Structure 1
């Protein structure tokens, strides 16, 4: 990933995982708005095509995080879950017209606890 050279490996990991999660969120939930009248298998094929781009960013992100930044698999997973919530809430609110609820805050606080426990002593 030459375009990321010079950026710390942990930051590269997070950037790639954020970008991959944007594609993943669109693949998993975008069809609910864009392809609502299409058969499920059309939505699945379109989602699969979008997910290809997600994997093209997620796999190198996890490899850089694991091999170069020295993150554990558990740390990578927790980072991904935090990113998922940070991407999903605005997506659901802005794109799918699903306003955020107070429960999202509580879920976020639970993830903060998960981050603490996974990175404690690292």
Structure 2
């Protein structure tokens, strides 16, 4: 299991307290948005955060989530329905017997997965 897969799995486990299973997807993106350096894209910030093995990602994600105001609207926004990419990963996991995170990482690395990820970020 790669370092980023381990981080995503840990993020998923830790984020159950904040929302449903699909909530972990946006956690790293939201964290990177808030930690991006001046002139740095979110994608570059994600790469930088994932590359730094000394960064305690769960502590950063928890701190980021704790700073969010608790409101009914925020709770609904934090619990979106499963995305097409989630459904594609679930289907692959069922076919291959892989766990969801392994299937998700493989599906997300395909042209179709990248397209679905881009669409989910625009929504």
TM-score category (smaller protein): under 0.3
Whichever structure has more helix as a proportion of its residues is 1
TM-score by length of 1: 0.25
TM-score by length of 2: 0.25
Structure ranking higher on relative contact order (CA contacts 8 Å, 6+ apart): 1
